Amino acid sequence: MRTCLLLVAVLVTGCSSYRPLCPGTRHYDPQVCRGESFQRLNNFKNEALQREAKCDANIQPEINCVWGRP
């Protein structure tokens, strides 16, 4: 009997905390309808210069060559 009550309590608390996703979003997208927002991170110092140097050295060109390959 205790096991049954414990199972019911776990199911009720688990299902009550579940909220469906906003329409048209994936689970990792910010849920704007719930008040979440996108987070904008700043660039680190000299990031553009480092990426340009990596692009010129042909290191991961798909990531570092933002203006296309040289």
Domain count, the chain: 1
pLDDT in tens, 52-61: 999 999 998 8
Residue in the structure block whose two tokens are 């994936």: 26
Rounded to 5 degrees, φ, ψ at 32 are: -65, -35
Q: Would you state the structure tokens that stand for residue 18, as one six-digit string?
A: 């579940």
Asked, for residue 55, whether it belongs to a domain, the answer is: yes
Domain that holds residue 66: 45-70
Asked, for residue 60, whether it belongs to a domain, the answer is: yes
Cα 34 from Cα 40, distance rounded (Å):
18
pLDDT value of residue 4: 76
> Residue range 48-54: average pLDDT?
91
pLDDT in tens, 5-45: 787 777 776 666 677 888 988 888 888 888 888 887 888 89
Asked, for residue 30, whether it belongs to a domain, the answer is: no
pTM metric for this prediction: 0.39
